[in-house]
Structure 1
Amino acid sequence: MKIFKAADYKRMPWKNGGGETAEIAVFPKDASLADFEWRISIATVASDGPFSSFAEIDRTLTILSGEGMELEIAGERLALTHASQPHHFPADVATSARLLGGTVVDLNVMTRRLRCTHQVERLKLPFIGRRNEATVFIFCSSGTVVVELEIGRFELHTFDCAAIPLESTLLSVSGSGSALKIEIRTV
């Protein structure tokens, strides 16, 4: 298992230059925005505008803080807030955002469509896990959570993330905070 600490994330400008992202994890290691198979990142959105387009990529966006945003994806409108479920959509269709009341921080999970799939879910704590059938990440979206594996217990704080390898057993996630579970599968 590997723990990614929020203070250590690689910060970079968005592909379209409109904001900043903090890269949590990417595969292959050191892949660029043009050649990753999957990527997990946090974005700070401070103004309305278009999303970067990523050919052959699927994306899931989850609001972590702020009032939220209204997305327009290929002409369809959808409001996302901190209470919304993660929203999955193709990253290669025209998408823009209008903030609902100030800066928003969101989690982005992206996978290359022909190579990987992903799923993101908000966990209700305590969460009882099972043997992994995919690579699993537990992302602490607020407060403190404890991830328990057969090899021990690990504490995560706001925006920290734990990578749990394929074929490991996630026993539970508990604590006073909130968490998201990200599963990435190879096609």
Structure 2
Amino acid sequence: MKILRASDYKRMPWKNGGGETVEIAVYPAGASIEDFDWRISMATVASDGPFSIFPDVDRTLSILSGAGMELMIDGGPPVTLQLDSKPCPFPADRPVFATLLDGVTTDLNVMTRRDRFSHRVIRQPTPVSLPPTAFLRFVLATGKHVIAFGSEKFDVEPLDCLTFGAEATDDLVISGDSEVFLIELDPEGGDRLR
């Protein structure tokens, strides 16, 4: 188990040059925006515009702060994403246009190369106890939380992220009064987590 602190996240430009992303974690370590197997990041969106295209990648978007946005995904009906919305999965190799609802919005972005990994993102109220799993998990805090794992306890600040894998044998107990985002990554690829 490891805590990734928000103050240590890597900042980089968007693939399309239209803004900046904050990379929380990527695999393989040091992978670029072009050759990752999976990537977890945040972005502050300050204006309407198209999303970057990522061939053979699946993506899930969630709102962390701000009023949210409306997505037009590959010519389909508009999808409204706000703070209380469920995470929105979609293929990252399809055209997507975002329209802000009311000013700057920060989102959580999880992407997996579909022939190598699949993923699931869950907005999880706390307190909660999470049983061990075979998947690689990340827990992104939206507020201050205490996370207990066996006899260990960790204080987590807003936007810090805890990561743990299949070696975990104890329940993960998260206390606090705000939500967390639970991210599960499956190296089998495909749709096992959906």
Tell me if both proteins adopt one fold, taking TM over 0.5 as the criterion.
yes
Aligned to 2:129: 128
- Aligned ranges for residues 14-29 of structure 1 at < 5 Å? 14-29=14-29
Local SS of the residue matching 1:139: strand
Gaps of 5+ in 2: 189-194
Q: Is the 8 A contact 1:14 1:20 kept in 2?
A: yes
Tell me how far apart the structure 1 counterparts of residues 145 and 179 of structure 2 sit (CA, whole Å): 7
Per-residue CA distance 1:50-73 (angstroms, 9 max, x = gap)? 000001000000000000100000
Aligned to 2:12: 12
Per-residue CA distance 1:83-130 (angstroms, 9 max, x = gap)? 100000000000010000000000000000000010000112111111
Work out the percentage of aligned pairs sharing the same amino acid: 49
Of residues 151-160 and 47-56 in structure 1, the stretch that sits farther from structure 2 once superposed is 151-160
Report the AA paired with residue 9 of structure 2. Y
- Aligned ranges for residues 57-136 of structure 1 at < 5 Å? 57-76=57-76, 77-136=78-137
Query: Does residue 186 of structure 2 align to residue 185 of structure 1?
Result: yes
Local SS of the residue matching 1:7: helix
Tell me how far apart the structure 2 counterparts of residues 19 and 170 of structure 1 sit (CA, whole Å): 38
Tell me how far apart the structure 1 counterparts of residues 89 and 147 of structure 2 sit (CA, whole Å): 25
Local SS of the residue matching 1:16: coil
Q: Is the 8 A contact 2:58 2:111 kept in 1?
A: yes
- CA-based RMSD: 1.0
Matched residues, number:
186
Tell me how far apart the structure 2 counterparts of residues 131 and 54 of structure 1 sit (CA, whole Å): 32
Tell me how far apart the structure 1 counterparts of residues 172 and 162 of structure 2 sit (CA, whole Å): 14
Gaps of 5+ in 1: none
Of residues 28-37 and 151-160 in structure 1, the stretch that sits farther from structure 2 once superposed is 151-160
Q: Structure 1 length as normaliser, TM-score?
A: 0.96
Higher strand proportion (structure 1 or 2): 1
Q: CA deviation at 1:151?
A: 4.7
Q: CA deviation at 1:150?
A: 1.9
Report the AA paired with residue 97 of structure 1. A
